[in-house]
Amino acid sequence: MDSFLPPREAPAVGASTSRAERPPASAAGRRRLFPDATDAEWTDWRWQQRHAVRSLAQLERYVPLTPQERAGVLETAALFRIGISPYYLSLIDPEHPFCPVRMQSIPVQEEARIRPGELADPLGEDKTRPEEAIVHKYPDRVLFLALDTCSVYCRHCTRRRITKGGEAELSKDQMRRGIEYIRQHPEVRDVLISGGDPFILSDGRLEELLSALHDIPHVEMIRIGTRVPVCLPMRVTDALARTLRRYAPVYVVTHFNHPKEITPEASEACQRLVDHGVPVENQAVLMRRLNSEARIIQELSHRLLRIRVRPYYLHQMDVAQGCEHLRTPIAKGLEIIQQMRGHTTGLAVPHLAVDLPGGGGKVTLQPDYVVERGERETVFRNYKGERYAYPEPEETDCSCPYDEVWRAQSR
């Protein structure tokens, strides 16, 4: 139901605007909202954290709120915290309630409503949480929840039951028990550190965790889920990048949802990580009326690739409480992927992923290009709708005889 939303005109569809034609939104916003901030203050991530907007009174000083936004701040105050870094606030268009940065950071009244099918724990994490810090849902990998704090509290947050309050890091005992759990489970080869946002930890605290994980022989890789390159890019310092490189392989999985978020500052943060040998991938969330058009997702992918960030997942939004107004039908995601296929490089087309409600795990979807299957051939349609036949081979034995030798050598 869109009764609270003013009408808007559809955006023009066309080629992406070049970087040279589009001035940085953050620079103009900084001059308008924080004219007294020095360069040293603005580029200090701790100054940004101290000056984050966390109340209705603060927010109204900077953004002319709609009645629905004002009601949203008041009615969600007991449900989920608000917090917007000055940098991310500087990207908000004060004139348009459909600004994608605004929609992700300022609540509306609809967020206070819990709809049928919405869940406090939409991914069923708590039932697979043997330790406070650990979610062990998949056989070979675990989620390590390092803290409940973020630089910006996204209105589409799937883990709002954790990030809604407390502003706490793990105690040393909780961290120790999480590390020990991983050490005692040799099947775990992949650890995803999340929270909250792990990059809000100090360099020393983060290194303590990385070092402990790196010392476990069966942990082959570490991933870090973070929105800091998007919402607090000044946190990505050379020192942080060097720390991550020291414990390679470490992969950073970030979360850009709209091309507007790819500012010069965000680009510099991502490229600093890549330059230090830290691969960066992006997981976007599909949100209704924010990025729910193929043109927007394609522009996002192209801009990510220009800064050497791989578009990895396009997530169907999880059924977290209060997020129904932002969710899209499953068919919309499939439509977007189909509209992108064949019209841009495959590297720019993310996997469409659905995390099944209640803990079913992640599945990926794609448009069905198979028209008919037969013993002699399979008939496909291409991205233009044209039919093509792929001849099936006469021999169908797909066993791999050398594999037994290879496995014996690898023991």
Render pLDDT for 44-55 as a digit per residue (tens, 0 to 9).
Answer: 999 999 999 999
Provide the residue ranges of all domains of the chain, joining segments of one domain with +.
Answer: 25-112, 134-365, 368-410
Specify the pLDDT at position 410: 82
Give yes or no for residue 13 having a pLDDT over 60.
Answer: no
* pLDDT tens per residue across span 123-180: 999 999 999 999 999 999 999 999 999 999 999 999 999 887 655 677 889 999 999 9
Pick the CATH number of 134-365 from 3.30.390.30, 3.20.20.70, 3.40.50.1980, 3.30.360.10: 3.20.20.70
Q: At what angle do helices 264-275 and 238-246 cross, to 10 degrees?
A: 30
Specify the pLDDT at position 170: 76
Around Cβ 20, how many Cβ atoms within 10 Å?
6
Specify the pLDDT at position 4: 33
- pLDDT category at 26 given cuts 50, 70, 90 is confident
- pLDDT category at 60 given cuts 50, 70, 90 is very high
* pLDDT tens per residue across span 212-223: 999 999 999 999
Calculate what percentage of the chain has a pLDDT beyond 90.
90
| Mean pLDDT computed over 89-99 | 97
| 157 annotated as a binding-site residue | yes
Specify the pLDDT at position 166: 59
What pTM value is reported for the model? 0.92
Specify the pLDDT at position 167: 56
| 154 annotated as a binding-site residue | yes
| Mean pLDDT computed over 87-101 | 97
Give yes or no for residue 236 having a pLDDT over 60.
Answer: yes
Specify the pLDDT at position 363: 97
Instruction: Name the more confident of 166 and 205.
Output: 205
Residue from 166, 193, 167, 168 nearest 179 by CA: 193
| 99 annotated as a binding-site residue | no
- pLDDT category at 3 given cuts 50, 70, 90 is very low
Instruction: Name the more confident of 52 and 5.
Output: 52
What distance in Å separates the CA atoms of residue 300 and residue 291, rounded to the nearest whole number? 9
Give yes or no for residue 2 having a pLDDT over 80.
Answer: no
Residue from 5, 4, 154 nearest 80 by CA: 154
CB–CB of 109/120 below 8 Å?
no
| Mean pLDDT computed over 200-211 | 97
Give the pair of three-digit tokens for residue 206: 């983060």
Cα separations in angstroms, 122 against 65, 233, 286, 306, 313: 30, 29, 16, 34, 18
